[in-house]
Amino acid sequence: MTQKISSFHFCTSALPIEHKKVAWRDVMHPFYQTSDQVEDAIFEAKVSGYFFKNFLCINAEADPQNYYSGTERALKSGYDGVIVKLILEGHCDFSGDASSIRNGAGGITILDMSREVIGITPKIDTINLVIPRHVLSKHIVNIESLHLQTLNQASVMTRLLVNHMTMLRKEAKSITQNEILDVSKLTIELVISALQNHIKTANLAPP
């Protein structure tokens, strides 16, 4: 039998009410510090993650919540990378480093895990590519300038990346170990092309 891609899955639905939020905070702790906006009795969330060669694909759905991360948290967690966040449903108000944006369904926002970010969301459904910094920095010189940037949805490169991430979510559980390298290479190439295009068209300078 062909071995499938390594993955993890978590859902609050089977947990006692008093354990749901605590368990969710523990699961998300490597990436964010979370706090909720709804009562314990109605809070639900689920996440699945797939381990590709040089990135982690995380699908996350959650009831309204706030989350925070910053330089100190990044150092403690040991993660140093970039999150490419595609919102499928809902929206998120992002703020940090003296700037703020709102991104909604169909939009991609870039988050630098070493920088401050505060997110406030209603019920939301997202796809997240967590990519180590060194994977991207070999091809993107001023990667730090991308923090809290929203990719132009009118761009062909952005639309290609949106379509790819959506399909990746759909097909991830069926990907075999033999296919991981090719899918990983294609995904990273699309991300790099979309980010390079954004830097060029937005005339971004290093922070």
Q: In 10 A of CB 57, how many CB atoms? A: 25
Strands (E), the chain: 7-11, 33-36, 45-51, 56-62, 65-69, 81-89, 91-96, 99-104, 108-112, 117-121, 124-132, 149-150
Angle between helices 156-171 and 180-202 (to 10 degrees): 150
Number of H helices, E strands in the chain: 5, 12
17-59: per-residue pLDDT in tens? Answer: 989 989 999 998 888 888 877 777 788 999 999 999 999 999 9
Q: What is the mean pLDDT of residues 136-162?
A: 93
pLDDT in tens, 163-196: 999 999 999 999 999 999 999 999 999 999 999 9
* CB contact set of 180 (below 8 Å; sequence gap of 6+): 5, 52, 53
Average pLDDT, the chain: 90
The number of angstroms, rounded, from the C-alpha of 148 to the middle of its chain's C-alpha atoms is 12
pLDDT digits (tens, 9 = 90+) for 94-129: 998 878 999 999 999 999 988 889 999 999 999 999
Evaluate whether 56 touches 49 at the Cβ level (below 8 Å): yes
pLDDT for position 78: 66
DSSP 53: S
Question: What pLDDT, on the 0 to 100 scale, is given for residue 76?
Answer: 65
> Could you tell me if 106 and 154 are in contact, meaning their C-beta atoms sit under 8 angstroms apart?
no
Model confidence, pTM:
0.92
User: pLDDT tens, 57-86?
Assistant: 999 999 998 988 876 666 566 678 999 999
Task: Answer whether residue 133 shows pLDDT above 90.
Answer: yes
Q: What is the pLDDT of residue 73?
A: 63
pLDDT at 6: 95
